[in-house]
C-alpha cells in the first residue's frame, strides 16, 4: 500500500527535478504493469488507519479491511516542522517528497527571495534546486558548519565555498525565531534580530519515523519501530524496514540502509536465514558540480589514525580514518571518484597492508603500486 497517490520513485533525484535537470516522470522506479505482472496489488493514495495484531487484519483509510499472515511496516518518515510562530503560514513548505517539489516548483519565481532552513543533506539539495530554478536563496543553519553529522570542519568549509559559488547565501550559527506575514509568509525573523525577506520558506531540519500505527497496535516503539537482526518487531510475523524502523538503537533515515534491510527481509520471507547486522552510514551529496562523500567513523575515534590529502587550490580534500590495519571512515570533498572503493573497504573490513602506503591517492595508484 502506498499512501501517496503515485507509484514509487527515486527520492534521491528530487533536487534534480526541482532544478529542472530531470523530469518528474524520469524518477519513477517501475511502471504500474511491472507490479501487476508480479502479482502485486498496489493501493495508491490509501493510508493505513489501524492494525489489529490479534485479529491479523489491517484497516485502510477508506474503510477496507485486509487480512494478513505476515505484516511489514515500511511507513517511512515525515519532516520535522518547526514549532514557532508563523509555521502554518502559506508558503512555509517542507522538502521530502514529490508533492513538496511540485508545490515548490509552482511557487518559485525568478529572483524571488527564498529561505531554506537546515544545512543538512536535504536543506542543501533544496537550496541548490531552488537556486537553479532562479530563486535568490539564503540557507540558514543552526550549527557552525554545514552537514556537521557527515563532515569534519575542513570538508564542511570546502562545501560551504562550493555552495556559495552556486549563488546561495549561507548563514551559520543562526537560530530561527519566527515566520512573519499576513495571508502568506513574507519573512523570517532570526533570534539575533535580523529579518530575511522570503516569498517562500523551506524547512529541512530532520525527519521523524512514522511509527504511530505500530505503536497503537501494541508493537514496541522507541524513536522508531524496534526490530531485531531478523527485522522482526516485538510481535512475531510483524516486521519493519526503512525509515520507520529502529535497529540496535539506530534510525538510519537514508536510502541505502533501507535497501539493505529490504533485501535481508526478502531473503528471510523467502525461507532463508538472512540477518541484518546494521549499515555503514554513507552520504553522497546530490548537487551538480558539488562532490561530497563521507562514510563510517569520519571524525576518528580515540585510537584511530587519520591520513589527509588536501589541495586548497583545486578545492579537494580527502581523509581516511584507519584502525587496526583497516579503513573505518572516509571523507572526500571536491573529488569523490574513489568513494565506492573506500566504502567497500570500510564495509568489508579488509586489511590494507598491501596498499596502505598509497591508499590516500586512490585505487588505481594503490593497486598498481601493490602489484
| Phi, psi for 204 (deg, rounded to 5) | -135, 75
Query: How is the chain split into domains, by residue range?
Result: 11-77+209-269, 81-205, 291-370
pLDDT at 44: 85
Residue 4 pLDDT level (bands cut at 50, 70, 90): low
Cβ neighbours of residue 188 closer than 8 Å, sequence gap 6 or more: 115, 117, 140, 176, 178, 179, 180, 195, 196, 198, 201
pTM score, two decimals?
A: 0.92
Cβ neighbours of residue 365 closer than 8 Å, sequence gap 6 or more: 358
Fold type of domain 11-77+209-269:
FAD/NAD(P)-binding domain (3.50.50)
**Quick check: do 11-77+209-269 and 291-370 share a fold?**
no
Residues 111-120 have pLDDT tens digits of: 899 999 999 9
Residues 268-282 have pLDDT tens digits of: 999 999 999 999 999
Superfamily of domain 81-205 in the CATH hierarchy: FAD/NAD(P)-binding domain (3.50.50.60)
The whole-chain average pLDDT of the chain stands at: 94
For residues 371 and 266, which has the higher predicted lDDT (pLDDT)?
Answer: 266
Residue 7 pLDDT level (bands cut at 50, 70, 90): confident
Where does 291-370 sit in CATH, by number? Answer: 3.30.390.30
The angle subtended at Cα 65 by Cα 61 and Cα 68, nearest 5°, is 120
CA distances from 3 to 45, 60, 172, 243, 331 (A): 5, 10, 36, 15, 36
Q: What's the mean pLDDT in 107-132?
A: 93
| Phi, psi for 232 (deg, rounded to 5) | -90, 140
Cβ–Cβ under 8 Å, residues 107 and 91: yes
Amino acid at each position: 500500500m502506498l499512501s501517496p497517490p503515485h507509484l514509487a520513485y527515486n527520492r534521491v533525484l528530487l533536487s534534480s527535478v526541482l532544478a529542472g535537470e530531470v523530469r518528474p516522470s524520469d524518477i519513477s522506479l517501475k511502471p504500474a504493469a511491472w507490479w501487476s505482472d508480479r502479482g502485486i496489488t498496489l493501493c495508491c493514495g490509501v493510508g493505513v488507519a489501524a492494525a489489529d495484531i490479534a485479529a491479523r487484519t489491517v484497516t485502510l483509510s477508506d474503510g477496507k479491511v485486509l487480512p494478513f499472515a505476515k505484516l511489514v511496516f515500511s511507513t517511512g518518515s515525515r519532516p520535522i516542522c518547526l514549532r514557532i510562530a508563523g509555521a502554518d503560514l502559506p508558503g512555509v513548505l517542507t522538502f521530502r517528497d514529490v508533492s513538496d517539489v511540485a508545490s515548490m516548483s509552482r511557487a518559485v519565481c525568478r529572483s524571488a527571495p527564498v529561505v531554506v532552513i537546515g544545512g543538512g543533506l536535504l536543506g542543501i539539495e533544496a537550496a541548490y534546486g531552488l537556486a537553479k530554478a532562479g530563486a535568490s536563496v539564503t540557507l540558514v543553519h543552526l550549527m557552525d558548519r554545514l552537514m556537521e553529522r557527515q563532515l569534519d570542519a575542513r570538508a564542511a568549509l570546502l562545501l560551504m565555498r562550493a555552495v556559495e559559488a552556486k549563488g546561495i547565501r549561507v548563514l551559520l550559527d543562526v537560530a530561527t525565531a519566527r515566520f512573519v506575514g499576513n495571508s502568506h509568509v513574507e519573512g523570517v525573523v532570526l533570534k539575533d534580530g535580523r529579518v530575511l525577506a522570503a516569498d517562500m520558506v523551506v524547512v529541512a531540519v530532520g525527519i521523524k519515523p512514522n511509527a504511530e500505527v505500530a505503536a497503537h497496535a501494541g508493537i514496541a516503539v522507541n524513536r522508531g519501530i524496534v526490530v531485531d537482526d531478523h527485522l522482526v518487531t516485538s510481535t512475531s510475523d510483524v516486521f519493519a524496514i526503512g525509515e520507520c524502523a529502529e535497529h540496535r538503537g539506530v534510525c538510519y533515515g537514508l536510502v541505502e540502509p533501507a535497501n539493505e534491510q529490504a533485501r535481508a527481509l526478502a531473503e528471510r520471507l523467502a525461507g532463508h536465514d538472512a540477518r541484518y547486522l546494521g549499515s555503514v552510514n554513507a552520504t553522497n551529496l546530490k548537487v551538480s558540480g558539488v562532490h561530497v562523500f563521507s562514510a563510517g567513523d569520519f571524525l576518528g575515534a580515540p585510537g584511530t589514525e587519520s591520513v589527509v590529502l588536501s589541495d586548497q587550490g583545486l578545492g579537494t580534500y580527502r581523509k581516511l580514518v584507519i584502525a587496526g590495519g583497516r579503513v573505518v571512515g572516509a571523507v572526500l570533498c571536491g573529488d569523490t571518484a574513489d568513494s565506492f572503493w573506500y566504502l567497500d573497504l570500510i564495509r568489508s573490513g579488509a586489511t590494507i597492508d598491501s596498499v596502505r602506503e598509497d591508499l590516500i591517492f586512490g585505487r588505481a595508484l594503490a593497486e598498481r603500486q601493490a602489484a
